[in-house]
A and B are shown apart, each in its own frame.
Chain A
Amino acid sequence: MDKIDRRRFLKLAGFSLASSALFFSTKAFADSQRIVIVGGGIAGTTAAIYLKTLVPNLSITLIEKNTKYTAGIMSNEVIAGLRDISSITFGYENLNKINIKLINDAAVEIDTNDQLIHGKKDKYKYDRLILAPGISLDWQSIQGIDNAKNITGWQRGVDVTTLKEQITNIKNGGNILISIPKGPISGPAAPYERASLIAHYLKSQKSKSKLFILDGNSPSEQTALFKSIWSQKYKDLIELQTNTTTEGVDVGNKTIITNQGKIKGEVINIIPAQRANLIAQQAALTDKDGWCPVDQRSFSSTKADNVHILGDAISPALGLRKTAQCANSQAKHCALAIAATITNNETYKRSMPLIDVEYSIIAPSYAISTVQIHKQAREGLRYQQLDTHVKDVKVADKAHREYGYAVSWFNNITQEIFA
């Protein structure tokens, strides 16, 4: 009897999922808890939704300065003309449906002693704050830069459209410069993804043009992976210079000044160094390096009580990358930790793997992924990294599939929190 037959003849063991659902009388306590979330990006919105579902009678307010969220994810496809900006722009209508209060305001000051947020429009008291404001760009490190005019494509949705226009208007033979700062950034592989997709455009439309990447970092596993792909797909279109720090820019002459010399380009895309959003810096929730130290289990701040910090803003000391997938996972872990405290439910305290995946699109129908698996360490701040798998064995064979899965990931993660 072969395996399948054996199985077909065996009766399926019935299983019941009738989990002896435990209900907690949390109502009185939860009602008195004001949870305020600042920042309705990937982390903040995920936390709001899951906390609300875990503890339905909790009062949750989300303060977000914009009326729509423009995702960083897939924005490089917009720049390369492969996708419309509307497909990466999301509203917050869903929050209303599940009784999460959305306030369109920008937090300008947080007093962690009085547990009070000063917004532009109003003040908000909290019993517990979840701060998920993302990054701020550090302009000071670059001489001669005008932050109002520099198009980074790293924070403002409008940048994406402008950058797209600049690239479309470039003359055949004009060069593009992308400058990457030293140190952690939001979307670690995103500058390389952007370079790939712009090269895809140049290859078919402006084949005499060239793209120079001025990377302030030393070569890494990631650079090696992309370089090997570029050498097959975009030979002579992309030139990567590592250990090349941008020190200044001469806007009039369209020139970047680096520690390795000057370089001219028709389109200049300087991505400045990054740190936790100014609001976190202002509230004294950051370390000297500009990032927020947090406890690896509950993501509570080590600097103030009743404050949790999530997403791009947290300290690199935890060993987690600044990706949307990671922000989303952190938010779920944090929601569970808060629910555990409020409801005393032991199940919520379980330790779960934290899985971080970053897909990078190289061309239409061609993508790669990197995976990091983390487990909460028993002690200390840092996550224990079980496995990093930078390169799939046969990239070229699977790249077409990974494109479909990358698009699916984008659809599913955005549907999970914005629909």
Chain B
Amino acid sequence: MMYKQVIIFTLLAVFLNPLSANATSAGELLALTCSSCHGTKGVSHGPATPSIAGLSKNYIIASMLSYKHIDNLDHAQDIVDERKNLDDVVILKRSATIMTRIAKAYSIEEIEKLADYFSSQKITLAVQDSDKDQAKKGEKLHDRYCEKCHEEGGIKPDDDVGLLAGQWQDYLRNSMHDFRNSDREMPKKMRNKIDKMVKKKGANSIEALIQYYASQK
């Protein structure tokens, strides 16, 4: 019910051509399967499923492999360690409703192609409601605790940190919930920062951050 207004009116105004003309990259074709959930070219209309356009290649590979081998993450790490070009990929435990079932359909070669394709798509910030006062608080918290890794207000997915600014807030809320419950493994230094922040500023600070990310347009 809460979603109702959001669903009908969050249509992005631009018409996205679903494929580039004479599409020839295998990744682009493989990616056709993802669009019914993640949106054309990885730009989701929400309200919850994340946009994956413009995420970094390594982040996408790490996510897909972690989903695929959720029961044996060491094996997933072995797979990337064996491949020289994927040296930088770090597998962390993730939590999912559906991606653990879907990722099983793809080989590592296909995952790489998918990652090539989506990482080269343009980031489009989601148009969503947010609380102004909370967002203001969130901005300060972000600068202090998160900006070091999630640069430029969380809009830079470089260094494989995912996308925060303009990501669908329900998704970020789910991610934060999983991190804090240890259903998703946090990078150690991020955990330190978050623990410190919550201790000093209270658990509500998390929602303030989410509102800040949602407010970026």
Which residues of A are interface residues toward B (Cβ below 8 A)? 2-8, 10, 12-13, 15, 17, 19, 21-24, 49-50, 53-54, 56, 82-83, 86-87, 94, 97-98, 325, 328-329, 332, 336, 345, 347-348, 350, 352-355, 357, 364-365, 369, 371, 373, 375, 386-387, 389, 392, 398, 401-402, 404-405, 407-413, 415-416, 419
Given A12-B159, A412-B45, verify A4-B189 contact (CB < 8 Å): yes
With A353-B106, A405-B98 given, can you name 4 additional A-B contacts, CB distance below 8 Å? Answer: A7-B90, A7-B159, A402-B98, A413-B37
Taking CB atoms, residues of chain A closer than 8 Å to B56 are 12
Residue pair B39, A412 in contact (C-beta under 8 Å): yes
Residue pair A56, B30 in contact (C-beta under 8 Å): no
Which B residue sits closest to A347, measured CB to CB? B24
Taking CB atoms, residues of chain A closer than 8 Å to B3 are 404, 407
Binds A, one of B12-20, B128-136, B196-204: B12-20
A314 to B63, CA, bound (A): 35
Taking CB atoms, residues of chain A closer than 8 Å to B33 are 329, 332, 352-355
Residue pair A348, B48 in contact (C-beta under 8 Å): no
Given A4-B90, A4-B189, A353-B106, verify A408-B44 contact (CB < 8 Å): yes
Residue pair A49, B18 in contact (C-beta under 8 Å): yes
Taking CB atoms, residues of chain B closer than 8 Å to A404 are 3, 47-49, 170
Which B residue sits closest to A2, measured CB to CB? B188
Taking CB atoms, residues of chain B closer than 8 Å to A412 are 35-40, 44-45, 49
Taking CB atoms, residues of chain B closer than 8 Å to A22 are 22, 24
B 111-127 binary contact with A (CB < 8 Å = 1; else 0): 00000110110000000
Taking CB atoms, residues of chain A closer than 8 Å to B79 are none
Closest 6 CB pairs of A and B: A404-B48, A408-B49, A353-B105, A413-B36, A19-B25, A411-B45
Taking CB atoms, residues of chain B closer than 8 Å to A54 are 19, 22-23
B77-112 interface (Cβ within 8 A of A): 85, 87-88, 90, 97-98, 101-102, 104-106
Which B residue sits closest to A83, measured CB to CB? B4
Q: How many residues of B contact A (CB 8 A)?
A: 64
A23 to B24, CA, bound (A): 9
Residue pair A405, B29 in contact (C-beta under 8 Å): no
Residue pair A3, B39 in contact (C-beta under 8 Å): no
Residue pair B22, A12 in contact (C-beta under 8 Å): no
Taking CB atoms, residues of chain A closer than 8 Å to B141 are none
B39-59 interface (Cβ within 8 A of A): 39-40, 44-49, 56-58
Which A residue sits closest to B36, measured CB to CB? A413
Q: Nearest chain B CB to A365's CB is how many angstroms away?
A: 8
Given A8-B159, A392-B97, A404-B3, verify A416-B24 contact (CB < 8 Å): no
Which B residue sits closest to A98, measured CB to CB? B17
Q: Nearest chain A CB to B60's CB is how many angstroms away?
A: 12
Residue pair A3, B36 in contact (C-beta under 8 Å): no
Q: Nearest chain A CB to B89's CB is how many angstroms away?
A: 8
A364 to B187, CA, bound (A): 34
7 A-B contacts, Cβ less than 8 Å apart? Answer: A53-B17, A98-B17, A347-B24, A407-B47, A411-B47, A412-B45, A419-B11
**Cross-chain contact of A12 among B8, B11, B58, B189 (Cβ < 8 A):** B58
| B182 in contact (CB, < 8 A) | no
Taking CB atoms, residues of chain B closer than 8 Å to A410 are 7
| B207 in contact (CB, < 8 A) | no
Residue pair A415, B11 in contact (C-beta under 8 Å): yes
Which B residue sits closest to A370, measured CB to CB? B101
Residue pair B19, A408 in contact (C-beta under 8 Å): no
Residue pair B101, A373 in contact (C-beta under 8 Å): yes
Taking CB atoms, residues of chain A closer than 8 Å to B2 are 365
**Cross-chain contact of B26 among A23, A87, A350 (Cβ < 8 A):** A350
A332 to B36, CA, bound (A): 11
Taking CB atoms, residues of chain B closer than 8 Å to A5 are 189
Q: Nearest chain B CB to A370's CB is how many angstroms away?
A: 9
Q: Nearest chain B CB to A394's CB is how many angstroms away?
A: 10
Which A residue sits closest to B3, measured CB to CB? A407
Please indicate which of the listed interface residues A3, A50, A82, A348 has the most CB atoms of chain B within 10 Å of its own CB.
A3
A409 to B116, CA, bound (A): 23
Given A386-B104, A409-B36, verify A369-B98 contact (CB < 8 Å): yes
Please indicate which of the listed interface residues B48, B97, B120 has the most CB atoms of chain A within 10 Å of its own CB.
B97
**Cross-chain contact of A4 among B45, B48, B57, B188 (Cβ < 8 A):** B188
A114 to B32, CA, bound (A): 34
Residue pair A416, B188 in contact (C-beta under 8 Å): no
Residue pair B25, A332 in contact (C-beta under 8 Å): no
Residue pair B105, A19 in contact (C-beta under 8 Å): no
Q: Nearest chain B CB to A201's CB is how many angstroms away?
A: 13
